[in-house]
Structure formats: C-alpha cells, structure tokens
C-alpha cells in the first residue's frame, strides 16, 4: 500500500475531527479495514488511468487542455507512406452532433495513432470515455470505548533528569523542557538497582544510588487540561556516575624498603591542662601507586614542667628519601625540646613569660625589651630543635652512605611548636619553614598565625629545612610566639590539609574560615571533648574528599 494514501487519509481524518488522537488514527490507517478499502481504491484508480492512457493515443485526439473550437491539425504520415489527398476538416464545435463510431485506430512505427484505412474519411477518431474513481468513502467510526481524543496541539513532551553520582544523596524533579502545560504524573516506574523512589505529586525522584550505571524510568502522565484517561508515556534516562573515591586504588607500600613506615599513623595524650591529638594519612596519589607516606609527626607532654609539644613535617614528594627526612626532623626535634626543658631553663622561661605578660598589661613602654628577652629563650628551644634536626639529616647521610643520598634527597618542611598554660594566659611558640600552617585558634578571637607560608615562584613550590634555614639569624626570625587570653587550640597541619580546607593564603589568615574549620572538627571528631577514640576519628576525618587535593595529610592539635 502506498504510504502517500495513508498520509492523505490521516490528514483527511484530522480535518474531519480536529479532536482526534494521532495514535488512534495511526492505528486505523494501519488496520485491515483501511487496507482493504485502499486496495479497492488502487484497483479502480489503476483501471481509470489505463483507460485514459489508451484514449490519449487515438490519432487526432483533441488536447484536453485546448478549447474545443480550435481546428485540429492532421497527423503527418511517415515519409514512406503515400501522401494522402488533401482533406477538408470541419471545425469541431460542442454543438456538432457526434459522428458515427470510427474504426479502431492503429499505431505507426512512431507510436502515433493513424487515421482509419479509408483515406477519404473526414471523421476523426474519438477517445474512449475515461472512468473516474468515486471519492473516498467516509472513514469507519472508531470504537466508542476509545473515548474523546486529545487535541493534536498538545504534543508529547520530553522529560529529563540530571545525572546522579553513586553514594551521594539525590533529589530532583522531572523537568518538562519548554512545555508550559501543567503535567500530572500518573505513574513513575523506577528500575531495580537505582534505589530511588518517586513522588507523583511533585514528580521528584530521590534516593541514594549505590552503584554507577545507566537506568531508564518509565513515566505515565497526562495534561491537566485533558481527561486523565488520555495517558501518555515517556522514557527518562538517569546516568549514575561513579564515585571518584572508588576509582582510587589503595596499594600497600613496600615493607622491604629500608625507610618503610606505616601508611597511616595516629596518637593522642592527655595532660593536666591540655590534650593533644594527631593523625597522618598517606595521600590518595601515593596510595594509588603504592608509594610511601612522606608526612610525619610527633607529640609529647613534659608533665613536670607543664609544656606540650607537637612537631609536623612534610617530606618533598620529589625527594626519594623525604619520608625519612620528615621522620628524622620530628624525632630529633622532640628529643631536643624535651632535653632543653631542664629545671633552670624552665624557671627562666616561666619568669620571662610572666614579666612580659605583666608589662604588656601594666607598662607597655617596657614590654618591647621583655618581649625580645622571651623571644631569645623560645628561640633556644624551638629554633635549636630545628638546627639539630638538620644536623640529624647530615648524620643519616653519612651513616647510610650505601644509599648514595644527598641532603636534597631528605628534603622536608618543619613545623615545631610548644605550648604552656599560665594563670595570665597561654604561651605558644613555633618555628616554621615551608608550607602548611601553624596557628593559635580561639572561638572568641579567631586565628593568630605563628609564621608565614613559604611559597615558591610557581604553584606547589615551597622551602625546606636546610643549612640556610638554621643559621642563627634565621632561627630567631622564623620563631614566632604569642600569649593569648583565650585559646581553643594550637593547630599544626601540612599543606595536604591547609590547601584543601583554606585554598589560599588570604583565606588562611581569615578567622571566618577557621571558625568553619573548627566547627567541622567538632562535628566529625568531637575535638572539644575527651573521647578516647578521638585519634581514630581524626584519622578517619583525614580521608575527606577534596577535588584535586590528594597529597599526604597530617594534623596535630593541642587543645
């Protein structure tokens, strides 16, 4: 059956009934009843056209496009034929009576109809009458059970949903594109495995997809200004993207390496006045290839003197033995600080701190000199610790000459801090070289940084502990301290934490960002409490996701 006939019938039915449903009309023109009717029409049409073609071959037949009063020109015979005698042809006119039926015409070699065998005949051959097929009958009425049909101007709409991500909560409404018609959802079928549910009232699909994949929802709906019986169907695809965290491997580091150490570490201790908690975790970029954790830390409490200390170091990722350099810095600095806190040194330090605090409050004009004196005492503790840490690396190079390492092969940053609570305030001091951060945080007063970030000319560059960083002048310059009335915590962190949580040096100096940071620690770790599992919670927290920040992460908190 010619598809053009179906198209004609479809258009005819829509003109006859503008309220007709396109789907019902499509079903009708594809039905056996219509095909039978079309077959009869095609047969009659073929017969009529054949008769017309046969009649158009009659010699001298008038052109139906010409007026009947125009004289017909005689057909010229082929050159081989005998020239006929001149004929006197009367004009054809509608008023002329029909002549007698002529003999059947014959066709010459050119396919042209010729005159009857009698050359004297003045009668022209007449075409046979053309039989025209009758018009199409009225369409067969559709069954009454199909009801009234929707208006064709309400086309089906394309419903859409945004992509989801495995493991993340999802809640989005079905979007109807540019359609302005109100849609009523009758049924939303959510496939198995998507682990979502649908709200028909709002068209919202929500849930937490457990795994990545492509899923198709089946949605049945109707337009609010039409009958609910006029349901439509749409297929909506939802793509669940994989959780990027699941794409990272966690390969164990080589235990046979001479400088192997655990891939993660945590510790906590509680003193009479303060507590310390610390954790270090190998970054995803290292775990993915099975390389080592380059960060390290140490924490300690000198119970007799009341001092607390924390050291954090970040080995350079490009240095082959930096993990050992970071460990040496932490180990040596801790030992040197504890050894320097002798009874006499502590007595001098306590007296200097007390005098400075009192002068700052009562006699500001004399505070500067007392501050310099206190600065000297603190530099001898935390600054000298940095100096001996650098010496420890030189000793390691000599001891492990078989490894062929240089000082740069052990490159690492160094954050060395001490803290003690007095009746007049809390004294905090730190030696800082490299990136990361050391700061005194107060819920009331915000942040006081104990140094500055060492940034290189290019992104990711920094300085490391070396001979220049432990010269006498630099030891004093890099040692910073303050006495604060209110301290919530003294925080040390490597850039794996600071870059992810603060992003820029400007934000690192902004108290508002530190308030948010502390609130997150309180929620996730319970940092303000005395939970015995606090170190494990802090270690787990270090696994937070931050796009593009996959370096080792280490943090130590005195609180």
- The Cα–Cα gap between 529 and 557 comes to 13
Quote the pLDDT of residue 222. 93
Quote the pLDDT of residue 395. 97
Please identify every stretch of the chain with a pLDDT value under 50, giving residue numbers as ranges.
58-125, 127, 130, 142-152
CB within 8 Å of 324: residues ≥ 6 apart: 259, 315, 396, 410
- Strands 164-165, 232-241: parallel, antiparallel or unpaired by DSSP? parallel
Quote the pLDDT of residue 35. 84
CB within 8 Å of 384: residues ≥ 6 apart: 336, 340, 475
Residue 33's SS3 state is helix
- Other CB atoms within a 10 A radius of the CB of residue 345 amount to 15
* Strand order, beta sheet including 213-223: 164-165, 232-241, 213-223, 183-189
Distances (CA, A) of 459 to 416, 454, 456: 24, 11, 7
Quote the pLDDT of residue 114. 41
Q: Which domains does the chain have, with CATH numbers?
A: 1-60+107-113+123-141 (no CATH), 150-246 (2.60.40.10), 264-558 (3.60.40.10)
Task: Read off φ and ψ for residue 232, nearest 5 degrees.
Answer: -125, 165
Element (H, E) at 85: none
Q: 93, 53 in Cβ contact below 8 A?
A: no
- The Cα–Cα gap between 92 and 60 comes to 12
- The Cα–Cα gap between 364 and 78 comes to 135
Total residues found in the chain within this entry:
559
Nearest by Cα to 488 from 531, 532, 537, 521:
521
- The Cα–Cα gap between 208 and 225 comes to 34
The β-bridge partners of 440 are 448, 490
Element (H, E) at 3: helix 3-16
Q: 73, 59 in Cβ contact below 8 A?
A: no
DSSP calls for 307-375: EEEEEEEEB-TTSTTHHHHHHHHHHHHHHHHHHH--HHHHHHHHHHHHHHHHHHHH-GGGHHHHHHHHH
Quote the pLDDT of residue 138. 56
């Amino acid at each position: 059956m010619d598809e053009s006939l179906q198209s004609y019938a479809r258009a005819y039915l829509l003109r006859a009934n503008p309220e007709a449903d396109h789907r019902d009309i499509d079903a009708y023109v594809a039905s056996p009843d219509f095909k039978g009717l079309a077959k009869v029409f095609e047969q009659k049409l073929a017969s009529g056209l054949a008769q017309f073609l046969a009649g158009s071959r009659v010699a001298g037949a008038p052109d139906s496009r010409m007026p009947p009063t125009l004289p017909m020109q005689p057909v010229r015979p082929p050159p081989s034929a005998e020239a006929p005698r001149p004929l006197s042809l009367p004009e054809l006119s509608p008023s002329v009576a029909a002549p007698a039926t002529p003999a059947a015409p014959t066709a010459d070699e050119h396919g042209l109809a010729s005159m009857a065998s009698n050359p004297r005949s003045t009668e022209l051959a007449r075409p046979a009458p053309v039989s025209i097929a009758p018009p199409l009958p009225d369409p067969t009425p559709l069954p009454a059970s199909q009801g009234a049909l929707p208006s064709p101007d309400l086309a089906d709409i394309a419903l859409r949903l945004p992509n989801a991500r495995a493991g993340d909560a999802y809640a989005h409404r079905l979007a109807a594109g540019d359609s302005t018609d109100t849609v009523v959802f009758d049924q939303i079928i959510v496939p198995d495995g998507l682990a979502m549910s649908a709200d028909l009232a709002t068209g919202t699909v929500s849930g937490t997809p457990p795994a990545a994949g492509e899923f198709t929802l089946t949605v049945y709906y109707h337009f609010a200004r039409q009958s609910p019986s006029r349901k439509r169907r749409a297929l909506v695809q939802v793509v669940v993207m994989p959780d990027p965290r699941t794409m990272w491997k966690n390969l164990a580091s080589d235990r046979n390496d001479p400088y192997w150490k655990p891939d993660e570490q945590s510790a906590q201790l509680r003193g009479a006045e303060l507590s310390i908690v610390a954790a270090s975790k190998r970054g995803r970029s290292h775990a993915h290839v099975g390389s080592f954790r380059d960060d390290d830390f140490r924490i300690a409490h000198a119970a007799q003197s009341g001092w607390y200390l924390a050291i954090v170091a970040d080995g350079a990722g490009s240095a082959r033995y930096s993990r050992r350099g970071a460990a040496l810095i932490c180990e040596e600095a801790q030992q040197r600080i504890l050894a320097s806190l002798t009874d006499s040194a502590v007595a001098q330090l306590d007296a200097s701190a007390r005098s400075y605090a009192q002068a700052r409050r009562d006699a500001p004009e004399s505070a500067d000199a007392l501050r310099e004196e206190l600065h000297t005492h603190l530099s001898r503790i935390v600054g000298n610790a940095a100096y001996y840490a650098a010496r420890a690396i030189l000793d390691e190079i000599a001891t492990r000459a078989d490894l062929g390492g240089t000082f740069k092969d052990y490159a690492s940053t160094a954050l060395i801090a001490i803290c003690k609570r007095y009746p007049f305030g809390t004294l905090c001091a730190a030696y800082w070289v490299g990136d990361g951060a050391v700061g005194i945080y107060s819920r009331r007063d915000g942040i006081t940084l104990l140094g500055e970030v060492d940034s290189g000319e290019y992104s990711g560059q920094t300085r490391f502990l070396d001979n220049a960083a432990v010269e006498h002048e630099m030891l004093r310059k890099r040692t910073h301290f303050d006495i604060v009335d209110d301290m919530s915590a003294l925080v040390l962190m490597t850039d794996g934490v600071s870059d992810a949580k603060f992003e820029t040096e400007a934000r690192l100096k902004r108290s508002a960002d530190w308030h948010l940071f502390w609130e997150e620690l309180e929620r996730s770790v319970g940092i303000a409490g005395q939970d015995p599992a606090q170190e494990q919670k802090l270690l787990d927290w270090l696994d937070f996701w931050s796009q593009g920040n996959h370096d080792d992460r280490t943090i130590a908190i005195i609180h």
